[in-house]
Amino acid sequence: MAASSGCQGTSISFNEPTLQFEYSLDVFRLARQKGLYNNFVSNGYMTADALKMLREAGMDAIKFDVKGGPEAVKRYCGADVEVVWRNVGLARRLGLHVEVVCLVIPGVNDDEETLRGIARRVLKEAGEDTPLHYTRYYPAYKFTAPETPIKTLEKARKIAVSEGLNYVYIGNVPGHPYENTYCPNCGTLLIQRYGFTITKYRITKDKRCPECGCKIPIVGEYTPSARAKNLFWLF
């Protein structure tokens, strides 16, 4: 179906894809035979062996949800966040493209210590060019904390940049300037987005900033069909 639809790759998500582990292995092997890339959208709470098997089956990229600091993750998820951070580092060492997302929730993980700690761990485990996304929370079902103020997300991004990360984004705020990708060297707008749609793309064919020539470690190729189908989302 992916190949016949003109897709560049597969992405397994919703619900936690590790619950579909055997299915994922099968799909990734088949997709790799078709020349497609494979992506996993995960909470990152799998064993190291499972992560290695996914890589061997043909996984190219993984997005990790980091829910907050140790206490918040233990309280709300019943989990040990160190397992997730271990897997972030392991995925990077396995040669996977890694991105990290944190849904910022007021009263749960929006304090400066937590936000700074997440940025520092991304830098330590996966490097300065790892995209970090701070996304806006909205109340849903029984969780009734107020929606995340945009100023909180902007503060989180400022903290992460000050810690040395080159590509930090604000998510779930369509039209915000920090949905976009900028050159970390000269600040030139490279990719302009509105939600999931790319509205401007200026990276050269050899993956450089058109103004200063800085090498941009982006994954994937931009094509009009990718723009139309919202497929070009990595990085």
**Same-domain pairing of 24 and 91:** yes
**Same-domain pairing of 116 and 26:** yes
For residues 58-80, average pLDDT: 97
**Same-domain pairing of 161 and 210:** no
**Same-domain pairing of 205 and 148:** no
Residue 3 lies in a domain: no
For residues 92-119, average pLDDT: 97
For residues 49-65, average pLDDT: 98
The residue among 173, 193, 210 that closes a domain is 173
Instruction: State the maximum Cα–Cα separation within the chain, in Å, rounded to a whole number.
Output: 49
Is 174 within 8 Å of 150 (Cβ atoms)? no
Alpha carbons 121 and 51: distance in angstroms, whole number: 19
In one letter, which amino acid is 131?
P
Rg of the Cα atoms in the chain: 18
Residue 1 lies in a domain: no
Per-residue pLDDT at 223: 77
**Same-domain pairing of 162 and 219:** no
The residue among 128, 152, 173 that closes a domain is 173
Nearest of 68, 63, 161 to residue 106 by alpha carbon: 68
Q: Note the pLDDT tens digit of each residue in 163-173.
A: 999 999 999 99
Residue 39 lies in a domain: yes
**Same-domain pairing of 134 and 206:** no
Give residue 47's domain range.
Answer: 9-173
Nearest of 116, 108, 181, 115 to residue 146 by alpha carbon: 108
Residue 2 lies in a domain: no
**Same-domain pairing of 162 and 184:** no
The sign of the dihedral angle between the CA atoms of 27, 29, 30, 34 is positive
Alpha carbons 102 and 118: distance in angstroms, whole number: 8
| Residue 219's pLDDT band (cuts 50, 70, 90) | confident
**Same-domain pairing of 218 and 147:** no
Tally of domains in the chain: 2
**Same-domain pairing of 77 and 127:** yes
186 has pLDDT over 60: yes
* 157 torsion bin: left (phi>0), alpha (psi -120 to 50), beta (else): alpha
Q: Note the pLDDT tens digit of each residue in 124-150.
A: 999 999 999 999 999 999 999 999 999
Task: Say which CATH number the domain at 147 has.
Answer: 3.80.30.10
**Same-domain pairing of 30 and 53:** yes
**Same-domain pairing of 190 and 146:** no
Residue 4 lies in a domain: no
Per this entry, what is the length of the chain? 235
Alpha carbons 9 and 37: distance in angstroms, whole number: 4
Per-residue pLDDT at 225: 58
The residue among 173, 202, 222 that closes a domain is 173
| Residue 229's pLDDT band (cuts 50, 70, 90) | very low
Residue 153 lies in a domain: yes
Per-residue pLDDT at 6: 87
**Same-domain pairing of 94 and 193:** no
